[in-house]
Structure 1
């Protein structure tokens, strides 16, 4: 064996370093989650996913902190104050599920001006300095009507259950529903706000039902299908086709009806685990990666033949879910380039 030692010149070392991408170390970076609402199973699952994935990243030393905060009321002014407090606390990135697409823009701009990365998801913001992660909520509305048009080509009367008034998600899903209805034989004969919560939806539907004609279907936004079914079951009406939103109680009711009488529908929603994608996107931006400002993720759909499998993996009181890894986030980022 040769005893000769090969030496690499300083110039060669510098050339190798220069050719390699230099990324920031995020082990000392602190990320905060600003959430405006936690009053339904989707939001609870979203927070649980954040704690699981972001908490593991903290334990592994990927980041120094990943602290979640939820406002007491769904008020944009309160969330803006929350974000301003995060700025004062010196967080390096703020991940936001926003109460309004525009009302938080001032606080978001303040964060950006302070050198803080802002990533919005689900309820996104329109401030140009922020990143946005969303499904195509308008398409989600269209897809509901497309599914119903295939089932009922002659059309019929629809009841629309909306979400939280004034929130981007509610506006977009509703707009998609109305756009698609215009190209069909359906007619929206009533609309109520269910606030994405089963108890609110049940009360709202029960209140409007006496004034409505026969319904062929109910279009929804998630967190409202089971409540609608309960309200209608309490009457002598035939059960219409209710579009579901991936909540466990919706899937369980659907499975019971399917077994009893062959009830058919579909279920779709954004996965609560999108919060974990937003976490990893924020981490990647802090790590020096070039990330497009607008990222899209597919919504999670449960079809008739996949119902039992989805229900089996969805905990009671929760929502069908997908959580994202760092590699998943990199793939989403790459797909947007």
Structure 2
């Protein structure tokens, strides 16, 4: 699975040119993860990947610490206070999955002024001193509509959004609406927030379905496809094309429907292991390497043809994933 996913992500590693041995220059450096939210399977997988890769880096002496901290609520003020505490605790680098692109800029600037390296990913920050690892979330929304345009002649859509007020939610939704604007045969008839969680999405979809006409397709953000399918089933309505978000339960349901009646869709999300790329970027900056301030990585797409292999390599309750090695990170850095 790793080979196929890495191929999908277009990561080319030059064999023999990059060493994975411990880096003595960072062996006494401490890296912290500041995470704003952990209430769905993607975030849990992200934290697990961080702990796995960061823990190994501590064990082999590459860094002295790779600790993870998650705020109780998705609140800017709470995460800003957390970042300030990490500065006081003497961390040399802080990796951030941010509650807001702009709201944490003051705390991020404090960290930079204190000599702390700041790397943001997924939920990125706009403070110029920070490093950013971004996915083109807007395009991730737009490709869903483009996929539908190649499948059906048009029709009414239901949009399931993510966590309200978060940069990622706004960007994916903007891409979906841009795609609809360019494909006038589609119309969004309703929009609900599923918080990237199946149970929340199911309840939200069930609540809006009675007011909607026949829905031809559901555009999503990840962690909501299975919940949407269950809501349509419970309402006794035809199952539309539901774009999935790489979660195990979504892929399992898709495989069952594919085997039973040839159901076709696609699935797309950012790999939660992007946290490990952020870890290695922070380590490389601490090691004195020249790193671009802005890095980009592709999202992870699963098609009708790659469903079985993706599902077989996705942990139950988890998300299709790739974890980055130091070599992978160097390749991404040089590629950008």
| TM-score interval, smaller chain | over 0.9
Gaps of 5+ in 2: 1-22
Runs of 4 or more, structure 1, over 6 Å off, are: none
Deviation at 1:236, TM superposition (A): 2.0
Is the CA contact 1:162–1:174 (under 8 Å) kept in the aligned structure 2? yes
Is the CA contact 1:24–1:286 (under 8 Å) kept in the aligned structure 2? no
Aligned to 1:199: 199
Deviation at 1:134, TM superposition (A): 1.4
Alignment of 1:184-195 (within 5 A): 184=183, 185-195=185-195
Is the CA contact 2:220–2:244 (under 8 Å) kept in the aligned structure 1? yes
Supply the distance in 2 between the matched residues of 1:106 and 1:199 (Cα, whole angstroms): 35
Deviations 1:188-211 (A, max 9, x none): 000000000000000000000000
Deviations 1:29-63 (A, max 9, x none): 00000000110000000000000001000000000
Supply the distance in 2 between the matched residues of 1:221 and 1:102 (Cα, whole angstroms): 22
Count how many residue pairs are aligned between Structure 1 and Structure 2: 313
TM-score (norm 2): 0.92
Is the CA contact 1:102–1:125 (under 8 Å) kept in the aligned structure 2? yes
Aligned to 2:54: 54
Aligned to 1:4: none
Please give the secondary structure, in 1, of the residue aligned with 2:101: coil
Is the CA contact 2:276–2:324 (under 8 Å) kept in the aligned structure 1? yes
Deviations 1:254-282 (A, max 9, x none): 00000111000000100000000000000
Supply the distance in 2 between the matched residues of 1:181 and 1:293 (Cα, whole angstroms): 33
Aligned to 2:273: 273
Aligned to 1:317: 317
Is the CA contact 1:24–1:288 (under 8 Å) kept in the aligned structure 2? no
Supply the distance in 2 between the matched residues of 1:147 and 1:79 (Cα, whole angstroms): 37
Is the CA contact 2:24–2:62 (under 8 Å) kept in the aligned structure 1? no
Aligned to 1:302: 302
Aligned to 2:180: 181
Deviation at 1:26, TM superposition (A): 0.4
Gaps of 5+ in 1: 1-22
Supply the distance in 1 between the matched residues of 2:71 and 2:60 (Cα, whole angstroms): 28
Deviation at 1:183, TM superposition (A): 1.0
Considering only CA atoms, is the larger Rg found in Structure 1 or Structure 2? Answer: 1
Supply the distance in 1 between the matched residues of 2:203 and 2:76 (Cα, whole angstroms): 26
Deviation at 1:332, TM superposition (A): 0.6
Alignment of 1:64-79 (within 5 A): 64-79=64-79
Supply the distance in 1 between the matched residues of 2:199 and 2:64 (Cα, whole angstroms): 39
2:251 equivalent to 1:251: yes
Aligned to 1:159: 158
Supply the distance in 2 between the matched residues of 1:83 and 1:71 (Cα, whole angstroms): 10
Deviations 1:121-160 (A, max 9, x none): 00000111100001100010111000000001x2100000
Please give the secondary structure, in 2, of the residue aligned with 1:314: coil
Deviations 1:87-114 (A, max 9, x none): 1001000000001111111110110010
TM-score (norm 1): 0.92
Please give the secondary structure, in 2, of the residue aligned with 1:289: coil
Deviation at 1:24, TM superposition (A): 7.8
Supply the distance in 1 between the matched residues of 2:332 and 2:239 (Cα, whole angstroms): 40
Is the CA contact 1:221–1:269 (under 8 Å) kept in the aligned structure 2? yes
Task: Tell me which of the two structures has the higher relative contact order, counting C-alpha pairs closer than 8 angstroms and 6 or more residues apart.
Answer: 2
Please give the secondary structure, in 2, of the residue aligned with 1:182: helix
Is the CA contact 1:277–1:323 (under 8 Å) kept in the aligned structure 2? yes
Aligned to 1:83: 83
